[in-house]
Structure 1
Amino acid sequence: MESIVTEKRVRKPEAPTAEPRTKSHDTPLLNNKVFAPYKVATLIDTVEACRISAETVLNRTGLSLEEIRNPHTLTSVRQYLTACDNIIAAGAGLGVAFEVGSRLHLSAYGMYGYALMCSPTMREFFDFAVRYHLLATPTLRLGWRLEGDLAIWEFTEIYREVMSNDLRNFLIRQQMMQNFTHVRDVAGEDRTPVRALFGLADDGTATEDERMLECPCFYDQPVHELHYPASMLDQAPELGNRLTRAMLEDTCDRLIGQAKMTSGVAGEVYQLLMLAPNQFPSMESIALQIGMTERTLRRRLRDENRSYADIIDDVRKKLALEYLTTTRMSVDDIAWKIGFSDSSNLRRAVRRWTGQTINEVRQG
């Protein structure tokens, strides 16, 4: 044990990675209520054994227990962070973080979770988990890469500036345990990590961390990672079904499209553009409204794999399809309302967006 705990660094293979990293670049806005309440509900159920009441968990969140039990309630990342802060202040230790993570099985994640369970291979499971992670009330950004004989989950902090050290410690362990649980859900109980790397100090928790994650743990690392043997990537999960996964992926695509409208800097730009769709302000004007320079805005959007032109196109698409399918407005009027100079530009755009003509879109 001593050699595991005191070793501070794990050398990474110096050879180039065999495959590019797969990363999620989407970051939900802290206060946007777009997530089902399953994580808060799991938190409440978990800490009941610690004699921490639901009222304590929900303090300052603006949520009631009745709302949390309603699957149609929408919650925000900030509300979940607040609930975690509450239980930490009430005495919940890191063991609760592991317990919450172990209870958040894929069945708790709706369509996203069911799609993951139906993954035809573990490689596709890893890819899908990252690509659609925005649907999972993310408190860290998820990524994965193949490096030598390891398949590596990467956990990147995205809200560090609003977290205490205690909250960071809690959420990083919870996320690692969630991924540990999800891999077991699809690959079987015997699938365990090779090692865990924590970008945290060793505060005397190594024994418990290793017991819960069933692998050696290393601290003071430059990253938070969970390493699995790459040999598992070609494994076919017991519930894998390519057709069912394809059907569920269509639903997840729609959900992720809705979530991206309220995620990151791109989400802020999207919402501002929706306020005046027929006369889109300049990028400089939008940057001033957000409180940054145009150059910074361009860089931030690039970091999220978006561009100002792409977001304008998204706004036009959403509004055009809504007007075409729910109103009897003329094509010329719709073109004007979404900032096109004439109807021919709208017709070309609709064909590009949908592969259909305007008449076909209107006929359903």
Structure 2
Amino acid sequence: MLENEITVSANWVKSLVLFAEQAGCDRHRLLDSADLTLDVFNNLQRFTMDETVKLWGACIEETGDPCFGLHLGEKVRPATFHIVGYTLMNSANLSEAFDKLNQYQRLISDGGVFQRLPTSRGVWLVYHPRPGSIPFYYHQIDAVLAAVLSFSRWVTGEVLSPIDVSLAREKPACIDEYRRIFGVEPVFDAEFDGVLISHETLALPLLEADEELCEVHESHARKRLIELESDNGVKDKVVNLLRRYMSNQDAGRAFIANKLGLSEKSLQRKLAEEGATFQGLYNDLRQRLALDYVSDTAIPLAEVALMLGFSDSSAFYRAFKRWTGNTPGDYRGSTAE
């Protein structure tokens, strides 16, 4: 990932693909549409916003569902957002949960922010999308707002409906689905995207509210946010690019330097300043990925060799024996026991 590039959590992206699979889509076909390979998909921690939007487009086209985003948002649960979801669900009430969502939204995605606008009737939660070079699909906004409502219903145990729903998109043919999911008739062709939630609803206590547990989860969320915000060193960028292109046998020092807009000498110098070398990072990542892939019995060993950029299986076997003292087959057998 390049500095300041808009990215999305792998957990959210994988939830998107899983939902499309459950609707009958083929994972490999979806990934091909976004120029992603299965090994990259399985190992990236963050995806670029453009990659994410391409996946959205593939899912929308493959399912043929004009309300795909709406239906995805309807299925969201706190666990969908992992540490952020757990932090929110242990908050005292919905108002506090939405405050924490603003604080930790970036762990889910850099692709948008929420704004709270208080009124006499309630509080507008307005979503401001922040796309990359490819414009958002309206489905993405639908999913976010439907997810807010789905989350709220789940953590309060109440059948909640917003007072109003505002959508900047044009009125769709599947209007009945919007009425069903939101519980009200949205205003379309509006100036902004958001939901108006009553003050009474925001004050509702959450079923899993636990101050102590909330602090435990929030402490982890704060740490992850710090790590994400400091993930700007050249070393981190090199590792992220290597994860993405490990299966490419040409992904050496020159290839990575070019991706970063640096000369090889500049890359070497910057890595040395961070106490690292390109070859050291490459070898360490390759070995760690090898252990992960070999432990996964769903991946054929011949395919592991290709995923790691080896010219053939024998070269991979020799390297693995050097790293672990075992053949890949023996190692897989021992970890499966």
Give the TM-score normalised by structure 1: 0.58
Question: What is the identity percentage for the equivalent residue pairs of Structure 1 and Structure 2?
Answer: 13
The residue that corresponds to 1:199 in the other structure is 168
The residue that corresponds to 1:222 in the other structure is 191
1:197 shift after superposition? 0.4
SS of aligned partner of 1:56: helix
CA distance in 1, matches of 2:145, 2:65: 16
Q: Is the 8 A contact 1:101 1:178 kept in 2?
A: yes
Q: Is the 8 A contact 2:166 2:186 kept in 1?
A: yes
The 1:188–1:152 alpha-carbon spacing in structure 2 relative to 1, beyond 3 Å, is farther
Q: Are 1:158 and 2:127 an aligned pair?
A: no
SS of aligned partner of 1:207: helix
The residue that corresponds to 1:29 in the other structure is 5
The residue that corresponds to 2:19 in the other structure is 46
Query: Which residue identity lines up with residue 179 of structure 1 in the other structure?
Result: V
Structure 1 residues 314-329: aligned runs within 5 Å? none
The residue that corresponds to 2:75 in the other structure is 103
Q: Is the 8 A contact 1:149 1:231 kept in 2?
A: no
Q: Are 1:118 and 2:90 an aligned pair?
A: yes
Which of 17, 32, 50 aligns to 1:59? It is: 32
SS of aligned partner of 1:204: coil
Q: Are 1:144 and 2:93 an aligned pair?
A: no
Q: Is the 8 A contact 2:123 2:199 kept in 1?
A: yes
Which of 205, 208, 212 aligns to 2:177? It is: 208
| Deviations 1:142-187, CA, capped at 9 Å, x for gaps | 2223211212211112117521xxx421111111111111111212
SS of aligned partner of 1:201: coil
The 1:77–1:104 alpha-carbon spacing in structure 2 relative to 1, beyond 3 Å, is farther
RMSD of the alignment, in Å? 3.0
Query: Which residue identity lines up with residue 5 of structure 2 in the other structure?
Result: L
Q: Is the 8 A contact 2:162 2:197 kept in 1?
A: yes
Q: Is the 8 A contact 2:56 2:137 kept in 1?
A: no
The residue that corresponds to 2:211 in the other structure is 242
Unpaired runs of at least 5, structure 2: 238-273, 276-337
The 1:88–1:233 alpha-carbon spacing in structure 2 relative to 1, beyond 3 Å, is closer
The 1:219–1:247 alpha-carbon spacing in structure 2 relative to 1, beyond 3 Å, is same
1:239 shift after superposition? 0.6
The 1:65–1:98 alpha-carbon spacing in structure 2 relative to 1, beyond 3 Å, is farther
CA distance in 1, matches of 2:38, 2:162: 36
CA distance in 2, matches of 1:131, 1:173: 21
Q: Is the 8 A contact 2:168 2:191 kept in 1?
A: yes
CA distance in 1, matches of 2:15, 2:64: 14
Q: Are 1:252 and 2:239 an aligned pair?
A: no
SS of aligned partner of 1:142: strand
Q: Are 1:183 and 2:152 an aligned pair?
A: yes
Query: Which residue identity lines up with residue 232 of structure 1 in the other structure?
Result: T
Q: Is the 8 A contact 1:50 1:92 kept in 2?
A: no
CA distance in 1, matches of 2:110, 2:157: 24
The 1:243–1:92 alpha-carbon spacing in structure 2 relative to 1, beyond 3 Å, is same
1:41 shift after superposition? 2.3
Query: Which residue identity lines up with residue 15 of structure 2 in the other structure?
Result: T
CA distance in 2, matches of 1:183, 1:161: 32
Q: Are 1:174 and 2:147 an aligned pair?
A: no
1:251 shift after superposition? 1.4
CA distance in 1, matches of 2:22, 2:93: 37
CA distance in 2, matches of 1:92, 1:28: 34
1:84 shift after superposition? 0.5
1:91 shift after superposition? 4.8
Unpaired runs of at least 5, structure 1: 1-26, 263-269, 276-321, 324-364
1:112 shift after superposition? 1.0
How many positions carry a matched residue from both structures?
Answer: 238
Q: Is the 8 A contact 2:152 2:160 kept in 1?
A: yes
CA distance in 1, matches of 2:4, 2:156: 29
CA distance in 1, matches of 2:104, 2:114: 10
Answer with 251-260 or 237-246: which moved more.
251-260
The 1:82–1:249 alpha-carbon spacing in structure 2 relative to 1, beyond 3 Å, is same
